[in-house]
Amino acid sequence: MENTLEIINQRTEWFREARFGMFIHWGLYSILGKGEWIRSHQKLSIEDYQPYFEAFNPTKYNPRDWAKAAKCAGMKYVVLTAKHHDGFCLFDSAFTEYKSTNTPIGRDLVKEFVEAVREEGLKVGLYFSLIDWYHKDFPKFGDLNHPMRDNSAFKDEVIDFDNYLTFMHNQVEEIVTKYGKLDILWFDYSYEEMFGEKWRATELIKMVRKHQPDVIVDNRLETSGEGFGSIVTDHINLYSGDFVSPEQIVPHEGIRNYKGEFIPWELCLTMNNNWAYNPTDTLYKPSKVLIRKLVECVSKNGNMILNVGPDALGVINEESMSILDDFSSWMNKNSESIYGNGYAELPKPEWGYYTQKGNVIYAHVLEQPIGPLALIGLSEDNIKRMSFVHDGSEVKISKSWTTNAYEGICFAQYGEVPHFTYPLPCSVDSVIKIELRGTDDEN
Ligand code: GLC
């Protein structure tokens, strides 16, 4: 078994076609409503946190609603936190009692989730935390993040970390064998000396690939949102993962390896500033910004996975649904400029972004032009036809006295009078489809 960029590109072909997914952070922490790190941030003991285990009863949980919302927004895959750092499992694990089937809801919520996502025709992924703040053999005192990291009662505690790793591997084997074909396995995360073989990562990934040979894996067996890992180097580890996972930042020029070749990557980001439900966090990014971030990611050969944090009852809140509705409106008209698109070998235009799919370039016009639009990098001779994606209306090559001085620059106009300024049809992103002359076109 080996890992090469060629193998990675083969494995991620559907992923790079899909471009857009939904992340779902949901668990006991959704009851507290202060984010998924609340145990660590407030140094809550297992006892402090136990009332939430005993109360967990998401009576409005219906993963079909989640899957429909994702599909409607134009998302092609959905990833759910099967287990986050608190160690609570949304699945019926045989290796712990700390699971949803032992709470008042009494159900295997992952089973229902994967079935619902597949029923909507979407790809399905599970997030799995390498970290487990509930397990007795996970490092506590002096750990970077553990809720008991400063508690001297744990200073001389003797743990059996190998036993923890066996437990962790067993749980991973459960989720890759009990829930059908998984499309994405999203590990999180490595830090300090806790990376790579510290997790027995080679053994782990060999087991995963034995059961799920086509599943794609993120890069966090090696790193976190802070790094890229061996996937960008000349020695790609078996557990490098298949995509880099930049977090809350769009890499300014995408992500390339040491040779300058694009590497699959996926921006993971939140709508507000919390992954899990937090009603006090009202700083939602405008949908216009988020839609433009998706376009930016695709223009740089990347994906975007946008997170929602359902509440303790299992409901995605109104602010998040409103954003998803706006994605739906824009994607319904323009998704051909996203799916299967990637980097166009052109200079980035001042007014927005180019994406490209085969012989078609899409001009994503975010900024209102004065008069015709300069299509820098494109030659009139190469253009067969242009039209707006949203309604198919013609966009012409502009011949105007205002552009005569700029030789060699191709201009597009979308109104009758060449030198007039016409409002862009869409204030979020007006997309012009530019069909290039192919080799089979008559001259
Ligand atoms: C960060 C957060 C973690 C979240 C992950 C998603 O690592 O700390 O809670 O699950 O991002 O990418």
Q: Residue 247 CA: which ligand 1 atom is closest?
A: 12
Pseudo-torsion of CA 235, 238, 242, 243, nearest 10°? -60
Q: Are 210 and 175 in contact (CB under 8 A)?
A: no
Pairing of strands 184-188, 216-217: parallel
CATH number of this structure's domain 5-337: 3.20.20.80
Helix axes 63-72, 318-334, angle to 10 degrees: 40
CA 278 to centroid of ligand 1, rounded, Å: 15
Residue 321 has pLDDT above 60, yes or no: yes
Give the model's pLDDT for residue 442.
Answer: 57
Q: How many CA atoms lie within 13 A of 318 on its CB side?
A: 1
pLDDT band at 181 (very low <50, low <70, confident <90, very high): very high
Q: Are 291 and 330 in contact (CB under 8 A)?
A: yes
Q: How far apart are the C-alpha atoms of 236 and 201, rounded to whole Å?
A: 13
**What is the largest distance, in Å, between two alpha-carbon atoms of the chain?**
81
Nearest protein Cα to ligand 1, atom 11: 247
Residue 441 has pLDDT above 90, yes or no: no
Helix axes 318-334, 287-299, angle to 10 degrees: 50
Q: How far is CA 46 from CA 147, 148, 256, 277, 294, in A?
A: 9, 10, 42, 20, 39
What value, to the nearest 5°, has the Cα angle with vertex 393 and ends 356 and 388? 25
CA 250 to centroid of ligand 1, rounded, Å: 16
Burial class (CB in 10 A: 0-12, 13-18, 19+), 267: buried
Q: Which residues contact 83 (CB under 8 A, 6 or more apart)?
A: 89, 90, 91, 127, 128, 129, 132, 171
Q: Are 25 and 305 in contact (CB under 8 A)?
A: no
Dump pLDDT digits (tens) for 220-272. 999 998 999 999 999 999 999 999 999 999 999 999 999 999 999 999 999 99
Where does CATH 3.20.20.80 sit in the chain?
5-337
Q: How far apart are the first and last CA of the chain?
A: 49
Residue 439 has pLDDT above 90, yes or no: no
CA 188 to centroid of ligand 1, rounded, Å: 7
Q: Residue 225 CA: which ligand 1 atom is closest?
A: 7
Q: What SS3 class is residue 335? A: helix
Strands (E), 237-365: 266-270, 303-308, 352-357, 360-365
Q: Residue 224 CA: which ligand 1 atom is closest?
A: 7
CA 289 to centroid of ligand 1, rounded, Å: 21
Q: Residue 37 CA: which ligand 1 atom is closest?
A: 9
Q: How far is CA 14 from CA 8, 11, 126, 278, 342, in A?
A: 11, 8, 17, 33, 13
CA 429 to centroid of ligand 1, rounded, Å: 29
Give the model's pLDDT for residue 24.
Answer: 99
Q: How far apart are the C-alpha atoms of 55 and 104, rounded to whole Å?
A: 7
**pTM, to two decimals:** 0.97
Q: Residue 81 CA: which ligand 1 atom is closest?
A: 10
Give the model's pLDDT for residue 87.
Answer: 98
Question: Could you tell which of 189, 220, 303 is best to mutate to test the pocket of ligand 1, judged by most ligand atoms within 8 Å of the CB?
Answer: 189
Mean per-residue pLDDT for 110-114?
99
Where does CATH 2.60.40.1180 sit in the chain?
352-436
Give me the helices (H) in 257-299, please: 287-299
| Closest-CA residue to 55 (of 27, 18, 89) | 27
Token pair of 140 as six digits: 């506590």
Helix axes 161-177, 201-211, angle to 10 degrees: 20
Nearest protein Cα to ligand 1, atom 5: 188
Is the CATH number 2.60.40.1180 carried by domain 352-436?
yes
Q: How far apart are the C-alpha atoms of 332 and 353, rounded to whole Å?
A: 19
Q: Which residues line ligand 1 (CB under 6 A)?
A: 25, 36-37, 188-189, 225, 247, 268, 275
Dump pLDDT digits (tens) for 130-177. 999 999 999 999 999 999 999 999 999 999 999 999 999 999 999 999
Cα-to-chain-centroid distance, residue 200: 26
Residue whose tokens read 């009851």: 31
CA 401 to centroid of ligand 1, rounded, Å: 54
Q: Residue 245 CA: which ligand 1 atom is closest?
A: 12
Token pair of 73 as six digits: 């927004």
